[in-house]
Amino acid sequence: MIWINYNVYAALAITTWLVGLLLMYRGKSAGTKNTGLVFIVVGQLIITFFLVQLWLLLDRPPMRTLGETRLWYSFFLPAVGLVTYFRWRYRWFLAYSLILSALFLVLNAIYPENYSKTLMPALQSPWFVPHVVVYIFAYALLAASSIVAVRGLFSSYRRKDEVTRQSLSLADNLVYIGFAFLTLGLLFGALWAKEAWGHYWTWDPKETWAFITWIIYLLYLHFRFRQKLTAKQLFWTLLIAFLVLLICWFGVNYLPSAANSIHTYTR
Amino acid sequence: MSQKQNKKPVWIHPWGYVESFSVAFGLISVGFAMEFSTQGRGVPDFTNATLNVTAVVLVFLILTGGLFFRKVPLIQWLSGVPAAISAIAGISFMALLMGLTLQQQNPDAFWVSRLGLSRITSSWPYLIATFYLLVVLGMATIKRIYPWKPGNIGYLLNHLGLWIVIFAATFGASQIQRLEMTLQEGRLEYRALDRKYNVWIDMPFAIRLHDFVLEQYPPKLGIIDNKTGRIIHENGKNLMLVDTAATGTMLDWYIRVLTYFDQSGKAGEHYYFNNEPGAAPSVKVQAINEKFSDTITGWISCGSFNRPYEALKISDQYSLIMLFPEPKRFLSEIEILTTETETVPVSLEVNSPFSFQGWKIYQVSYDDELGRWSDTSVIELVRDPWLPAVYSGIFMMMAGAVTLFWRGNKTLTTS
């Protein structure tokens, strides 16, 4: 049995993020604020280091179980937050992505996993890593878009038009890139399924929900194209879409329709 | 607000959201009515000729409508955004139904079977919703192809790619053949079972299984409740992968592996290495409970089809057991023989199918009970004539997804 001290890494990462955010928000000088940013990057590196170590120790990509995908989520969310910060300087967005990521780190600490080394033959494929990484990255981006949607809703109910406009524009950027990755993840999955199970699409419950998730974001893109919907309606669409995404990721296992799913690797 | 200003009576062109959603709703209702009136038998198996004619007619209608009658209000509506959104919503609704009901062969509930809810993909409302989507998506695509602008390339890749995928997957579905072939070591087999129609098919080639190979992970140890016989899981914890000199903690016990044989037989109280058929893995462990300063040592084995298993009782409540080893990889060394006395040796493994004369050959399963001593291997032969079309659509969509990045980097203006 492999025991890496996960809790220590998670605690370290969360602490550096807290310190970093504190410095960024409370710091008076530019130097202090930059130090805060350095702390956040260090936290990100801690997560990265943990993932690399886990991969090496397990001797397989750590992407099989729900808990393992949560780890990747905790890795990608701050990454999206940092890139957005460097690109557009949204400090609040960086803060929210770190908080969400920390939440997932804590979830994994509450429900620890026995990191099993075994990997069933169906998952031993060159498609495994790109399929999961692309998907979790898409999920992280779309989660980010839902954070933006919540902020946008607050500002639109308070009639702060400038913030609403900015939020909608940021949400759009995130959804477009997130949707591109979602599409790639879905198509990689189809190509892999053909190699592994003989058909590219079998309407397995996980596939069905992945399709529903994809099509709901597709609806959002078309709503945007028409540009007749109000900002509020668009933000609500994003929140509903993210809810569907969560059903696809976690919820499917609990639905009656999933009784015969081939996508349950949690045990 | 602008909608209120241009308020027009319903069903007067140009049609908007109300008309579009009414059409989508109406079409799906008609589908369910058809399903209900045909006793829930669903869409019948059309002949290939019928399907081909339908496909050609559909393409012809979309092309003529989209190219020559684009000024007609009906066509303008079909290629517009409200129709697109209603078509997407229609197919989402069918997918949601599919995502919420168990898809199975013989449902119990009357309404589920009568409305085809347990096999949505072969139901009328699903087929009609798909057709509506194909028409709307097709019309919208043509509008952007002709007249052509280079800026439309991303749009074209995404929309035409998706159209091709749905079109080819829908019309190709009935031509897909999935046959199952059960191979016995040393024997030549040329017949395969079509499970859909339960008929045996003579293949144009024969396959001989030389050897079936199964590699396994080392077994795992677990703790069971003596009364219920269930494994104490705790979210996948309390399982320990065996290795020579492995140690681990399960519940209150510290477990140490003293000896490990991946194949063994038992003589008296001890196990020793043995590689006869059925020789099961065994392990000698020491279980230490610090709370009660208790130490128990003994042998455990998961047994096999011809060997008994052995558990180690570590308290009144619990016993230590070994789980069957999980497969790491399995493969069939086969030889394909054609009538032209050509032989092709193939090593068939999960996730790497072999293509031969338009068929893709897959390793599927083996005799579970015999495990690594199985001399049976089940393979699947799949033929999908429309696959190249589906793949070209998929690759177009992949390229289209890449173009979305540009869009994502550009800040959109908001109204």
Whether A205 and B99 lie within 8 Å, measured CB to CB: yes
| Shortest alpha-carbon distance between residue A7 and chain B (Å) | 16
Task: Note whether B412 contacts A: Cβ–Cβ < 8 A.
Answer: yes
Whether A255 and B89 lie within 8 Å, measured CB to CB: no
Q: pLDDT at position A130, please?
A: 87
CA-to-CA distance for A247 and A139, rounded, in angstroms?
Answer: 12
Q: pLDDT at position A113, please?
A: 67
Q: Say how many C-beta atoms besides its own lie within 10 A of residue A38's C-beta.
A: 12
| Cβ proximity of B136 and B85 under 8 Å | no
Q: pLDDT at position A89, please?
A: 84
Q: For the residues of B21-58, what is the DSSP string, one character each? A: HHHHHHHHHHHHHHHHHTTT--S----HHHHHHHHHHH
Task: Note whether A5 contacts B: Cβ–Cβ < 8 A.
Answer: no
Neighboring chain A residues of B99 at a CB cutoff of 8 Å: 205, 208-209, 212, 255, 257
Phi and psi dihedrals of B296, rounded to 5? -125, 135
Neighboring chain B residues of A259 at a CB cutoff of 8 Å: 102
Neighboring chain B residues of A114 at a CB cutoff of 8 Å: 235-239
Q: What are the pLDDT digits (tens) for B290-337?
A: 888 889 999 999 999 999 999 999 989 999 999 999 999 999 999 999
Q: What are the pLDDT digits (tens) for B172-227?
A: 998 999 999 999 999 999 999 998 889 999 999 999 999 999 999 999 999 999 99
Which letter does DSSP use for residue A158 in this model?
T
CA distances from A51 to A12, A143, B13 (A): 14, 21, 58
Whether A118 and B328 lie within 8 Å, measured CB to CB: yes
Q: pTM for the whole thing?
A: 0.88
Q: Say how many C-beta atoms besides its own lie within 10 A of residue B273's C-beta.
A: 12
Residue A262 has pLDDT above 70, yes or no: no
- Residue numbers of B between 213 and 252 with CB closer than 8 Å to A: 217, 220, 235-241, 246-249
| Shortest alpha-carbon distance between residue B91 and chain A (Å) | 9
Whether B414 and A165 lie within 8 Å, measured CB to CB: yes
B178 forms bridges with which residues in the sheet?
Answer: B382
Q: pLDDT at position A52, please?
A: 92
Strand order in the sheet with B188-194: B343-349, B327-338, B199-216, B188-194, B177-184, B376-383, B359-366, B354-356
- Residue numbers of A between 171 and 200 with CB closer than 8 Å to B: 172-177, 179-181, 183-184, 187, 190-191, 194-200
Q: pLDDT at position B252, please?
A: 84
Q: Which tokens in the block code for residue A80?
A: 């999206």
Q: Tell me which chain A residue has its CA closest to the CA of residue B121.
A: A203
What ipTM does this complex have? 0.90
Q: Which tokens in the block code for residue A78?
A: 């701050």
- Residue numbers of B between 44 and 83 with CB closer than 8 Å to A: 81-82
In this complex, the residue of B238, B353, B405 whose CB is nearest that of residue A177 is B405
Residue B229 has pLDDT above 90, yes or no: no
- Residue numbers of B between 147 and 206 with CB closer than 8 Å to A: 169, 176, 178
Q: What percent of chain A has pLDDT over 90?
A: 52
Neighboring chain B residues of A255 at a CB cutoff of 8 Å: 99-100
Whether B350 and A122 lie within 8 Å, measured CB to CB: yes
Angle (nearest 5°) at CA B380 between B377 and B383: 160
| Cβ proximity of B408 and A205 under 8 Å | no
Residue B411 has pLDDT above 70, yes or no: no
Q: pLDDT at position B409, please?
A: 52
> Helix/strand/coil (H, E, C) string of B293-361?
CEEEEEEEECCECCECCECEECCCCEEEEECCCCEEEEEEEEEEEECCCCEEEEEEECCECEEECCEEE
Whether A179 and B236 lie within 8 Å, measured CB to CB: no
CA-to-CA distance for B103 and B97, rounded, in angstroms?
Answer: 10
CA-to-CA distance for B289 and B297, rounded, in angstroms?
Answer: 12
CA distances from B319 to A176, B298, B316 (A): 55, 11, 8
In this complex, the residue of A168, A184, A200 whose CB is nearest that of residue B390 is A200
B283 forms bridges with which residues in the sheet?
Answer: B260, B300
Q: pLDDT at position B294, please?
A: 86
Q: Tell me which chain A residue has its CA closest to the CA of residue B86.
A: A219
Of B16-25, B51-60, B240-249, B298-307, the one with minimum mean pLDDT is B240-249
CA-to-CA distance for B62 and B72, rounded, in angstroms?
Answer: 13
- Residue numbers of B between 368 and 407 with CB closer than 8 Å to A: 380, 382, 384, 387, 390, 394, 397-398, 400-402, 404-405, 407
Residue A264 has pLDDT above 80, yes or no: no
Q: What are the pLDDT digits (tens) for A170-200?
A: 899 899 989 999 999 999 999 999 999 999 9
CA-to-CA distance for A197 and A125, rounded, in angstroms?
Answer: 12
The residues, ordered by sequence, that sit 6+ positions from A18 with a Cβ below 8 Å of its Cβ are none
